[in-house]
């Protein structure tokens, strides 16, 4: 607890003016050795760690040791929902009519634990919201499907606004799983150590006035949220701290509402090709 306070104080002094702070805490979903190792490493770094694990976990003794290190271990909920925005999420664990609300800066989801045989984890509902949109597109392999290659690669190797998916790596030996857990902890720790978030320079802009609310971009990208304004008009919204800037959504927009101020050469060529396919000639482009 004291070390967590020290981390918070250190992060507070690093906060740039106008920055959005990241809560110095992580919620880990999955009770395998990878998760337990990551939880131990992150709590040792002074972060507040909560771990959601099945009661039938084979790792009960290790879970008890984690609790002695101030890690809070939760039983598996009936449903789980993520609200809030990057840096400041609230995870709601629903146990029947009871709801346990956990504020957290990062969420780590172990896909292997989630997809284990007849595990009760499979009964969990990832309701609507960012995590729901991500989970709805995530196959048992732990990789997103139905998104552009560039975006898929980005998501797989990086974090997504503090949401970390841990794909199965086939490691059977305990020492390999421990190494995997340490690698995951390093990734989460690097994210939390930033202390604050700023809009990414490669993030796209979505002009809500041009947007027709068709939802095509949201079909491509789980980070785009369809919202409704006071008049009932539906429009697409992207949190710029979340957008990875892959550019996959731009060509999908029939209204030209999505723009990206800074693109890679490959992205510009891709956009030009899609514009030419729509019948425009090079001089118009």
H helices present in 168-215, as ranges? 174-193
Quick one: residue 86, left, alpha or beta (phi over 0 = left, psi -120 to 50 = alpha)?
beta
Positions in 178-237 near ligand SF4 (CB under 6 A): 204, 206, 211-217, 220-221, 223-224, 236
Quick one: residue 84, left, alpha or beta (phi over 0 = left, psi -120 to 50 = alpha)?
left
**What whole-number distance in Å separates Cα of residue 36 and Cα of residue 61?**
11
The answer to whether residues 258 and 223 touch, using CB atoms and an 8 Å cutoff, is no
Q: How far is the CB of 132 from ligand SF4 (least distance, A)?
A: 16
**What whole-number distance in Å separates Cα of residue 110 and Cα of residue 115?**
9
Using the contact rule CB under 6 A, the part of the chain among 68-76, 100-108, 187-195, 244-252 near ligand SF4 is 244-252
Positions in 252-271 near ligand SF4 (CB under 6 A): 252-253, 255, 257-258
Positions in 34-73 near ligand SF4 (CB under 6 A): none
Give the up-direction half-sphere exposure of residue 42: CA atoms within 13 A in the CB hemisphere. 34
Q: How far is the CB of 200 from ligand SF4 (least distance, A)?
A: 9
The answer to the question of residue 134 lying near ligand SF4 (CB under 6 A) is no
Q: Which of 48, 249, 263, 270 binds ligand SF4 (CB under 6 A)?
A: 249
Q: What are the residues binding ligand SF4 (CB under 6 A)?
A: 151, 204, 206, 211-217, 220-221, 223-224, 236, 238, 243-249, 252-253, 255, 257-258
């Amino acid at each position: 607890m004291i070390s967590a306070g020290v981390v918070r104080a250190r992060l507070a002094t690093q906060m740039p003016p106008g920055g959005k702070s990241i809560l110095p805490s992580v919620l880990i979903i999955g009770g395998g050795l990878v998760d337990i190792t990551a939880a131990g490493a992150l709590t040792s770094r002074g972060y507040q760690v909560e771990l959601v694990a099945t009661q039938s976990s084979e790792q009960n003794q290790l879970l008890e040791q984690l609790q002695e290190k101030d890690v809070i271990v939760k039983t598996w909920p009936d449903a789980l929902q993520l609200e809030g925005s990057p840096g400041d999420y609230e995870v709601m664990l629903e146990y029947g009519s009871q709801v346990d609300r956990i504020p957290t800066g990062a969420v780590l989801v172990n896909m292997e634990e989630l997809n284990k045989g007849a595990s009760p984890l499979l009964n969990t509902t990832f309701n609507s919201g960012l995590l729901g949109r991500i989970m709805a597109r995530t196959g048992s392999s732990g990789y997103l499907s139905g998104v552009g290659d560039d975006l898929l690669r980005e998501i797989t190797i990086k974090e997504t606004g503090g949401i970390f998916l841990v794909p199965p790596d086939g490691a059977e030996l305990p020492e390999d799983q421990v190494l995997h857990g340490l690698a995951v902890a390093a990734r989460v720790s690097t994210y939390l150590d930033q202390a604050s978030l700023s809009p990414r320079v490669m993030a796209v802009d979505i002009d809500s006035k041009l947007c027709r609310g068709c939802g095509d971009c949201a079909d491509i990208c789980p980070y785009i949220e369809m919202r409704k304004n006071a008049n009932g008009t539906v429009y697409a919204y992207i949190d710029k701290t979340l957008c990875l800037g892959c550019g996959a959504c731009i060509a999908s927009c029939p209204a030209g509402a999505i723009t990206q101020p800074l693109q890679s050469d490959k992205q510009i060529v891709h956009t030009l090709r899609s514009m030419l396919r729509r019948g425009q000639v090079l001089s118009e482009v």
